[in-house]
Amino acid sequence: MTLLETRAPAKINVCLYLGPTREDGRHELVSVMQSVSLTDRVRLEHAAERDEVVCPGVDGENLVGTAIARFRAQTGWDGDPVRISIKKRIPVAAGMAGGSADAAAALRLLGRASGREDPDLLTAIAEGLGSDVPAQVLPGRVLATGAGERLERVPGVARYAVLVVPAGRPLATPDVYREADRLGLGRDHAGLEQALQIVRAGLPDLADPLCVNELEPAALSLCPELAETLDAVRGAGADVAMVSGSGPTVLGLFHDPDAGEAAVQRFPGAVVTRPVGPHAGEVLAS
């Protein structure tokens, strides 16, 4: 089989407004999700006997293995076994949806390998893999509602630089949502609807005061040291400093990209990234 390759871009939540819990246990939200140029490399090739996932640095069950199984089950594709190899650069359990991005990338590769590239089909399979997966089947910028699965694409690519400051320790997404509940965070339906209207009116490039992550107090409660990082990122000139998704990675948005490049030197392990559009997820044959 031809070797196919794609990139799996990390995502940031430019804003995340938190709503009530649904019957399925997940929270409603209103979020603008943006893919950035921090990527994993994901490759598909022929495997001898059975489907395999190779992903150094990630122990335990890989979401990509589940993606392959679901793709076969939901499409009926019985093509030759595949090996999907992932070279990670996105920090793990950091609030940048790395596993979700890899799973979405795997669906793109499987779609190409099998001749089943219908985005609606791939998105339907993605919905069963996790809240962050559907938005990443086609990288770029989306307004996500529901629990993250209802998507409206927002055209264009924002121009700010994104400073990514990893925390050096993981934070599990369910723990952060649970902490949000314990703290009594989260709007009621009317409050979330109001946030949706304000965000929608502010698109495509949200004004800085709308770049708010309402999960941040929960991440801070579990990782109090993040307050210092947020202050340092602000002190380094970021126009917006916020926790990424469920954390604990901290982000700085810089409207002046040169200021972002200058700030990165102050934070060991940090990288500067840029928003990217759908082309970042192209599937290439080699």
Quick one: which of 62, 123, 213, 229 contacts ligand ATP (CB under 6 A)? Answer: 62
* Span from 120-128, 130-138, 190-198, 278-286 in contact with ligand CDM (CB under 6 A): 130-138
**Among ligand CDM, ligand ATP, none, residue 148 binds (CB under 5-8 Å by kind):** ligand CDM
**Among ligand ATP, ligand CDM, none, residue 29 binds (CB under 5-8 Å by kind):** ligand CDM
Give Cα 85 distance to the centre of its chain: 19
In the bound state, the residue with its beta carbon closest to ligand ATP is 99
Residues 6+ away with beta carbon under 8 Å from 73:
none
What mask, x for binding ligand CDM by CB under 6 A, covers residues 232 to 261? -------------xx---------------
How far apart are the C-alpha atoms of 81 and 6, rounded to whole Å?
A: 19
- Is 87 a residue of the active site? no
The yes or no reply on residue 139 touching ligand CDM (CB under 6 A) is: no
Select which of 40, 88, 102, 132 is catalytic.
132
How far apart are the C-alpha atoms of 163 and 273, rounded to whole Å?
A: 6
How far apart are the C-alpha atoms of 242 and 259, rounded to whole Å?
A: 17
- Contact status, residue 64 vs residue 84, Cβ threshold 8 Å: yes
What mask, x for binding ligand ATP by CB under 6 A, covers residues 93 to 112? xxxxxxxx-x----------
How far apart are the C-alpha atoms of 64 and 130, rounded to whole Å?
A: 12
Token pair of 177 as six digits: 């949502």
Q: How far apart are the first and last CA of the chain?
A: 11
Task: Pick out residues in 26-55 that bind ligand CDM (CB under 6 A).
Answer: 26-27, 29, 31
The yes or no reply on residue 273 touching ligand ATP (CB under 6 A) is: no
Sign of the CA dihedral with 152 first, then 153, 154, and 157 last:
positive
How many residues would you count in the chain? 286
- Is 51 a residue of the active site? no
Binding site for ligand ATP (CB under 6 A): 55, 58, 60, 62-64, 86, 92-100, 102, 132, 173, 245-246
- Binding-site annotation, residues for ATP: 91-101
Supply the residues annotated as catalytic.
Answer: 11, 132
